[in-house]
Chain A
């Protein structure tokens, strides 16, 4: 008996992960990657819309899609961190909306823009952390906690503004809507900030011990605890960082449309979950990443934009998105079942 049998030989490895087919190493890595499916879906939709409409693949439209994706993308970034811990945040849109009205109202009532911005951030950060605190201290399911937060925060935003939307004067608060011209391609500062935020969070998740612990906690909290990871602290930090993302999302929202509307972005929470799930992050936690979420966000926005360009009723956009969500979760389930066989 040899111990080497305890571990699969290279041949056994590829046979195991690729079924009976014999992929080359590189092909296997691409096909086995979690973002392969989402990338393909994005590529196919871009090709179809480019071929069927004359307006889709133009510099201005692509720039528009990127601008449209910043708020949902930023919310989805925070959502990704939470979903990786096997949680979910239904309140992220509401928290960001409260952030926008706090920023707008403070600026309108004579506070300095910087003060308004920082206090808006602080509100989002505090509310994200509050969700995390309730989840970890009271051991409640994140779904319930954030459902409650969604209701409360939405009501608070309306009480605070008397349910009235109001314009925000341009300045620091709307700065992220300004465009910068990169070789004939108009990008907003918001888009650049979004990409930077994805890069930073992506780095934290894949290159630091904290990120590894987020995955471990989402994958198997007991295993994480037994190796000495402080599970509750990791969970709390995930909600805190997500709260920061929601604060930035609020700023991005004001840059996109300079109006603070307490009843805006009502479906942004579900859109962010859609982007995360379509991007290949598992709702069961511990699997996925921000690159997938970026692609998932683009898929949602490309579908919406492309179907509009093709003059298709916007309700069909929702049908298409819904089908994608179910398909993505089904693929995830299947993959999990196959691996845990």
Chain B
């Protein structure tokens, strides 16, 4: 598990940590992505919004390595990358919290945080007997939770199913933040939560950003987006049509762009040479 990134030194602040150019994905006759661009800047929370069927979940899957686009390419720190599987994306430091959480309810918090990436004991026990270093994993799991302000040192051995929905979401986010080196993608993290728990998850998202990670937040909830996002990527008809800042825009405007009532501002829509002119933090 990496130490939390406190800043993004070593990377040019002008280069998006993760970007996509001209992504196309077709499913039979349906074009889910129609030349979509995407830019995520270091240390920002970027909300991705769009009507149902706008193709935002296809975009997210392409970024997370869950699908391979038909054409177009991905860039990390300006260098072209391609993800054949979620594991590829993960190797590049991108962690995704899928909508259905992907935690195993009967397993405890530590086991879930380390699931698929367990650490073994040193020496003979680990190398030959393949023994898990449970103690070290518990310590690290507790540290991962504490890093995000989740104070539960005693309960990392608690089965996830004994937690509330918000607590489970916190575990899933903590797992992503703990393993991520660059980007955390959150797919509808508050969809199943009540108001209070949603607020707590938003607070958690801010803490992930404070650790220097860039966050992609897919959400339908405008008030939440305006509360936590630095920029809003608006998706419509399979492509990015606009990027706005919450301070300079209203929810009504965002919804109008989403539904096509207002034109977008994305230069790529007008076939302009560069998509770099969009609003930046």
* A219 contacts across to B, CB distance below 8 A: 104-107
Q: Does B115 sit within 8 A of A, measured CB to CB?
A: yes
A227 and B115 contacting across the interface, CB-CB below 8 Å: yes
Interface residues of A in 224-270 (CB under 8 A from B): 224, 226-229
CB distance from A222 to the nearest CB of B (A): 7
Is B166 part of the contact surface with A, judged by Cβ < 8 Å? yes
What is the CA–CA distance of A112 and B159 in the complex, to the nearest angstrom? 51
A286 & B204 in contact (Cβ 8 Å cutoff): no
Q: Is the CB of A8 within 8 A of B152?
A: yes
Closest to A230 in B: B116
Chain B, residues 149-170, CB within 8 Å of chain A (1/0): the string is 1111011001101110011001
Q: Interface SS of chain A: helix, strand, loop or mixed?
A: helix
How far does the alpha carbon of A203 sit from the alpha carbon of B125 in the complex, in Å?
A: 12
Interchain CB contact under 8 A, B199 and A227? no
Residues of A within 8 A of B106 (CB): 215, 219, 286-287
Query: Does chain B have a CB within 8 A of A109?
Result: no
Beta-carbon contact of B155 and A13 below 8 Å:
yes
In the complex where A207-B131, A212-B132, A215-B107 touch, is A3 in contact with B162 (Cβ < 8 A)? no
Q: Are A1 and B203 in contact (CB under 8 A)?
A: yes
Task: Point out the residue from A3, A10, A340 that lies within 8 Å of B200, measured CB to CB.
Answer: A3
Q: Which of B90, B104, B111, B129 contacts A228 (CB 8 A)?
A: B90
State whether B130 touches A226 (Cβ < 8 A). Answer: no
Instruction: State in angstroms the CA–CA spacing of A340 and B101 once bound together.
Output: 15
A226 to B97, CA, bound (A): 10
A17 closest partner in B (C-beta): B162
- Give the distance in Å from the alpha carbon of A6 to the alpha carbon of B131 in the complex: 32
Q: Is A4 in the interface zone, CB < 8 Å from B?
A: yes
Residue from A3, A6, A16, A17 with most neighbouring chain B CB atoms (10 Å): A6
B278 at the interface (CB under 8 A from A): no
- Shortest B162–chain A CB gap in Å is 6
Asked if B204 contacts A212 (CB within 8 A), the reply is no
Chain A hits for B116, CB < 8 A:
213, 224, 227-229
Verify if A339 is at the interface (C-beta below 8 Å from B): yes
Chain B positions near chain A (C-beta within 8 angstroms): 86-87, 90, 98, 100-107, 111, 115-118, 120, 129-132, 134, 145, 148-152, 154-155, 158-159, 161-163, 166-167, 170, 196-197, 199-200, 203-204, 207
- Can you list 6 residue pairs at the A/B interface with Cβ under 8 Å? A6-B167, A7-B163, A209-B120, A216-B111, A220-B103, A339-B105
Known interface pairs A4-B149, A207-B131, A340-B161; 13 further A-B residue pairs with C-beta atoms within 8 A, sorted by A's residue number = A3-B170, A7-B152, A7-B163, A7-B170, A13-B162, A17-B162, A207-B129, A224-B116, A227-B116, A227-B117, A286-B107, A339-B159, A340-B105
List A residues at the B interface (Cβ < 8 Å).
1-8, 10, 13, 16-17, 203, 207-210, 212-213, 215-216, 219-220, 222-224, 226-229, 286-287, 339-340
